[in-house]
Structure 1
Amino acid sequence: MKPDDRIRVMEIIARMNVGGSATQVAGLCERLNPDEFDHRLYTGHVDGGEGDHLRLRDTAIPVHHIPGLGRSIRPIDDYRALLRLVRAMRAFRPHIIHTWTTKAGALGRVAARASGVGAARIHAFHGHQLHAHVPGLRRRVYVRAERLLAPMTDRLVTVGAQVRDDLLAAGIGRPEQYVVIPPGVRLGPLPTRAAAREALGLPLDAPVVAYVGRLKKMKRPDRFAEVAAEVLERVPGCRFVVCGSGALKEDMERAVMPMWDSFRLLGWRRDVETVYAAADVVLLTGDNEGTAVSLVEAGMAGVPVVATRVGSVAEIVQDRRTGLLAGPDVEELAGHTVQVLLDPGLARRMGEAARRWTTRAFGVDRLVADTEALYRSLRGAARAGVGSR
């Protein structure tokens, strides 16, 4: 394919902070066929205190920075970001505009309509804000905005069927607009268990439970601390590793202070593979998840998972085969964790099944193939504006 004939794709995400959306975007930026796609990333800056995915993973992805496109909502800055996106679209003339995250999805789709470039529009939902823990006003505003934006979109991509069904139940979009594309992940080489334990300062023979992710309300790190306390009652020598940071970092530190000697708070690390290699169980305790990348990574590392049965988690963790699922109950989560820790045979079987399953279903090459097929199918969908339909 001649360079002038390539499909021009404009990827827009608010910020490339550590998380599922940034992992997917980075995988696409690194792997899309450059002979077929002219693929460009437009993003804001990562806020202080958040892990920067591009820096932590040491990638060399070219980035077009859009000031004001970051996390914070500031009307003047947001308006300027909107104008910058319009100018960028008119200069690049993309065939496809693919937006990620709530703010970038809103600004990107409005800019696409205002620019008049006639690109096909895709918005990706890694999760949503429909659950009860989200304040009522914020949830209502979110639903209203996404209902208004859906008619301005050709395809709504979700990481799992449950996320799609939740959005449809809220009146967002039409069934025929939706495409489910599960996440795609690539995990680096794993160190040996002994080397990983030594690197993290963990005893070689201690049971280890790991948490990998942002420390924010939705992830319920407070519940993780409560589960840890229950586990320690039954497995006194257990160690807990927390890889991540966020707004609730200080709250987490206070919560685990009575168990301080049993915890390692690592912050963000480039070598997340080391954390998985050191762990016997990965524990997820959140109230809401799209398709948690940490659970995919754990599976690829051969580590069984204990997780809350929320969002599309059950589409990653096969209950009683690759891990154990529970309700948001501390006692149940602790019981499942202890069961895996005290039964090495069960842990080994689940870990091996998890590695086979996640490697087959959630590899980055599968993500890229699915996304390339979607882009090809939409190249002919460019139009002057959705409202003209």
Structure 2
Amino acid sequence: MNDGATTEKSTGEKSTGEKTTGEKSSGISASAADRSLAANRACYDALVDVAAGHLLAADPENVLLAATIAANFAWNAAIGILNDPRLESMITDSVRAPGTAAPQVDRSRSNGRVLHVLTHCGDIGGHSRLAWRWIQRDTRRADVALTHQTSAVPAEMLSAVARSGGGVHDLTAAYGSLLEQAYELRRLMERADIVVMHTHPFDAVAIAAANLPGVRPPIIFENHADHTYWLGLSMADVVTDNRPIGGRLCAEVRGIPAQRLSLLPLSVDAQPASAGSSRGELRARLGIPADSVIAVCVAGAGKLRPVFGTGFAEIAAELLERVPALTLLLVGPPAQGEWRDLMDRFPNRFFALGLLSDAASLYPVCDIYLDAYPISSGTALLEAAVAGLPTLSLQEPEKYSDVWTAESPGLTDPLHRAGSRGEYLERIAALAASAKLRRQHGEAARRTVLAAHTGSGWSQRLEAVYAQARRVPSADLAAVSQVEPTPAQAQYNRELLRFMRGSDEPTPFERINLPLAQVVGTRLHAELFAATIGARRSRSPLTLRVGPQWPQHRAWMLRALRLCSTNPGIALSLPVLEGAEDEALLAIVLELLGELGLDGDSCGNVSIEADELVDALALRLQFTANGLDFFAALSNQLLRRQPVGDPAPTLLADSVAVA
């Protein structure tokens, strides 16, 4: 696929309204996907409306928090758009007084200093490696700012920054307020010639910092999540992609002007990782036959699901059947479910090894690298090529968009790709049968990847990106063109939904936002969740379904019963306990009510029910004070939003923390 391919061609849609092979093979209709996309979009819009309300109230902290939650939902849910200038405008307006001019860009700075901003830097994941390798290969001093760090910073990042003469600033540890983080991040930006944003798609702190009044350096937005929704249009003077398809999506779907787009291939280490063990040790430890050819694949489980009808498990099974000499190591998914089944079906020939932080140490003792399917895994593919392994990707453009393929510079030659399942199986069989062929293909992959992703070639591209950032006008949301939706884009949105969810079901807000609940706080979280409930359904009872351990949580139950008695919009549903008599359970409830001075007539809506609730939302609360605080706040929010006489939504309560 060349760089000039249109979106219609790149998404594989043959004609307007026609289903692609991917839709047919997955057994999921376009109409079902569109309904879920619409439901997700309604939830997203409700979250954005909450941010808008706090903007009107001149509450910038809650604008940033609500925007973070809304963007995190869109990143994970697939909502039919890849950017939202409206939400980004709310963020920028919240940190600038009305009439205040946009920040000015100082392109003349020459301190030899670059600030890299990451939301989170982890041991596992390509974007963190990209950042520290960028720092290692740049001659300038590098500082790093982290806006949502939840674990220890990897040693590789600390070492790269220290060697450059810079420092790492964990804003999460220093500031509990997102607004304070934004001000501190802007202060750090003042010292830099250039800022590189490696941020997650939901990072409102970076948007706010970049748009505070005053003078700032040029900003490069490193587009590591090129396939999905992200915040960044309002701060990206230049968007740099690591593969051509990212740039095409930016131009054709995001509406970013061509002068702001650049290509910088992923930086990889020129020297392959050292082997964690010898070939003999690996074979002995796992029980691999001595004459077996070892293939390896590294990918998260989400990239291997049958998103478009066929998943990697089916491909792997057919491959192992067709090529008896092959053993396959899968790094990423644990040995459970379909992967456990494959291990049982192909003993000593298939191994699901789970997550490994040093997966590249396997490459020197393997013979072939198989790219993830149906969703490519770019960084691992490049690292395997550097190790000299022949790499092969199965890419079926008639089934899905080429967005899901690696399209990495250096590996676009047909030598490294198979266009059909039959060709894929034949090519692997040939590689398994010939050490000479493996060596030839591996040397070719290593040579082309090193040329594009390391050394002077990569450094020259980096300098060109820096020069471009100093040359172009500053980021301006008004300059982002409104792109008219096309049938091909609609098809891509359906694919994105299937990738995100593994199905066409609407995305539950509460599951996605659990990791950010503590950042948001109980009251705002309840407001946001209530907004999504209102967007999804208007008539359903708000019932607190308690977990089976309820008799053991006496103080918690007393508060829940008191809350129920004073709020007619709440119902408390207690499950029947296995082996317990109904009369005994009723006696426990009446005793608790008696402590509160209540009885069966004054307690409100309390019931003991053997059956699971029908049509219940999948929210679960812990038996904690925070859990009941959240429930109380949520019930109040829903009561404010509902017309008189409407019942409220159902909640389940037992074991998963949400507040």
1:142-162 deviation per Cα after TM superposition (whole angstroms, max 9, x unaligned): 2xx65xx42532101101112
Q: Does the 8 Å CA contact 1:150/1:172 hold for their aligned counterparts? A: no
* Structure that is richer in strand per residue: 1
Q: Aligned partner of 2:154: which letter?
A: L
Q: Distance in 1 between matches of 2:274 and 2:116?
A: 34
**Offset at residue 279 of structure 1 (A):** 1.9
Q: Distance in 1 between matches of 2:157 and 2:114?
A: 23
Segments of structure 2 that go 5 or more residues without pairing to the other structure are: 1-108, 162-166, 396-401, 480-659
Q: TM-score, normalised by structure 2?
A: 0.47
Q: Aligned partner of 2:368: which letter?
A: V
Q: Does the 8 Å CA contact 2:110/2:193 hold for their aligned counterparts? A: no
Q: Does 1:54 align with 2:54?
A: no
Q: Structure 1 residues 129 and 353 mapped into 2: Cα distance closer, same or farther (>3 Å)?
A: closer
Residue 348 of structure 1 corresponds to 439
1:162 to 245, 251, 255: 245
1:59-117 deviation per Cα after TM superposition (whole angstroms, max 9, x unaligned): 45443223299xxxxxx97xx34531331322451332211244366531332102634
Q: Does the 8 Å CA contact 2:275/2:363 hold for their aligned counterparts? A: no
Q: Distance in 2 between matches of 1:53 and 1:238?
A: 38
Q: Does 1:264 align with 2:351?
A: yes
Q: Does the 8 Å CA contact 2:118/2:198 hold for their aligned counterparts? A: yes
Residue 119 of structure 2 corresponds to 14
Q: Distance in 2 between matches of 1:46 and 1:325?
A: 39
Q: Does 1:211 align with 2:300?
A: no
Q: Distance in 1 between matches of 2:203 and 2:348?
A: 43
Q: Supply the RMSD in Å over aligned alpha carbons.
A: 3.7
1:89 to 186, 189, 205: 186
Residue 519 of structure 2 corresponds to none
Residue 38 of structure 1 corresponds to 141
Residue 171 of structure 2 corresponds to 66
**Offset at residue 358 of structure 1 (A):** 1.2
Q: Distance in 2 between matches of 1:129 and 1:68?
A: 30
Q: Distance in 1 between matches of 2:366 and 2:389?
A: 7
Q: Distance in 2 between matches of 1:364 and 1:44?
A: 31
Residue 317 of structure 1 corresponds to 411
Residue 230 of structure 1 corresponds to 318
1:349-387 deviation per Cα after TM superposition (whole angstroms, max 9, x unaligned): 21111121111121155434422443345347797x847
**Offset at residue 388 of structure 1 (A):** 9.8
Instruction: Among all aligned residue pairs of Structure 1 and Structure 2, give the percentage whose two residues are the same amino acid.
Output: 21
Q: Distance in 1 between matches of 2:465 and 2:156?
A: 29
Q: Does the 8 Å CA contact 1:10/1:41 hold for their aligned counterparts? A: yes
Residue 138 of structure 1 corresponds to none
Report which of the two structures shows the higher radius of gyration computed on alpha carbons. Answer: 2
Q: Structure 1 residues 155 and 129 mapped into 2: Cα distance closer, same or farther (>3 Å)?
A: same
Segments of structure 1 that go 5 or more residues without pairing to the other structure are: 70-75, 131-141
Q: Distance in 2 between matches of 1:103 and 1:192?
A: 35
**Offset at residue 165 of structure 1 (A):** 0.7
Q: Does the 8 Å CA contact 1:95/1:120 hold for their aligned counterparts? A: yes
Q: Does the 8 Å CA contact 1:44/1:67 hold for their aligned counterparts? A: yes
Q: Does the 8 Å CA contact 2:145/2:185 hold for their aligned counterparts? A: no
Residue 5 of structure 2 corresponds to none
Residue 257 of structure 2 corresponds to 174
**Offset at residue 39 of structure 1 (A):** 1.7
1:304 to 387, 390, 400: 390
Q: Structure 1 residues 288 and 125 mapped into 2: Cα distance closer, same or farther (>3 Å)?
A: farther
Residue 128 of structure 1 corresponds to 226
Residue 243 of structure 1 corresponds to 331
Q: TM-score, normalised by structure 1?
A: 0.75
Q: Structure 1 residues 154 and 27 mapped into 2: Cα distance closer, same or farther (>3 Å)?
A: same
Q: Structure 1 residues 90 and 227 mapped into 2: Cα distance closer, same or farther (>3 Å)?
A: same
**Offset at residue 218 of structure 1 (A):** 3.2
- SS of 1:353's equivalent? helix
